[in-house]
Amino acid sequence: MNGAAVALTWLYVPGDKPAVVRKALGSGADVVIVDLEDAVAPDRKEYARSATAELLSDPPTPGPSVAPVHVRVHGEGDVRALARLPGLSGMRLPKITHAASVHHVAALAPGVPLYPLLESALAIEHAYSIAGAHHDVRGIALGEADLRADLGVRDDAGLDWSRSRVVIAARAAGLAPPVMSVFPDVRDLSGLRSSCAHGRDLGLLGRAAIHPRQLPVIERAFRPTSREVEAAEQIVEAARTQEGAQALPDGRFVDAAVVASAERTLALARRR
């Protein structure tokens, strides 16, 4: 993955509010996710689907000021209605528990990038098989609200094992690091900042948001700091001048794995 391709901010918008969706496309989010599932009341599902189909049938051209559009689908009807529309850049698949479910969606939506959401204990147990289920799977992530309810977890730390599990599963399947789930209190930016820092320590990269004010906080939290960039540059430069494992003057040990990590840091720092 090169730096330009790294998405750090993923903004959820209700699918039954097309004016809000169009506004969100210029919000600065790396990806806009039109939500046809939890954010839409049952009696608004059909309208949300038709409004989303209209948007995706004649989409604005993605670019520096217009985000690509993903859809969190509600069921097979959404998949069939939207899969072949030109403005669709990806599908987020809620409540996936088995690889077979991914194969089913992939058959209905050939070539569409898929992002299964793991929202139950059963899904966590099958994390690697889901991550590697199909070549159209481009990422996995937790749906933490549903997972918290399924596990009966009250303290946020109770989800850390599951977070680490999806990080490992994604890496083992050759996928990008998982994106963090949403932080529900849009006014608590300090809490969001702390939560992002904790997720980054666990190996997560980027975060879903539910309000544009959360986007700059997420962006800053996951971008490398100037100190991290400087350290990565030193490691990469040392690797250019001397092959094999070595120690830097400050005592840091450098081998191929450390160099690869430094190169990922620099790629992320170079994102737009």
Residue 254: per-residue pLDDT: 76
Instruction: Work out the burial of residue 255: count CB atoms within 10 Å of its CB; fewer than 13 is exposed, 13-18 middle, 19 or more buried.
Output: exposed
* φ/ψ (deg, to 5) at 265: -60, -45
Neighbours of 56 (CB within 10 A): 20
**Pair of tokens at residue 67:** 């985000």
Determine contact, residues 21/55, Cβ cutoff 8 Å: yes
- Whole-number pLDDT of residue 268: 87
Q: Which of 215, 153, 158, 136 is nearest to 183 (CA)?
A: 215
pTM score of the predicted model: 0.90
Rounded to whole angstroms, what are the CA distances from 205 to 3, 137, 190?
13, 17, 18
Of 9-23, 38-52, 250-264, which gets the smallest average pLDDT?
A: 250-264
Average the pLDDT over 224-228 and give the result: 90
Write out pLDDT tens, residues 87-103. 999 999 999 999 999 99
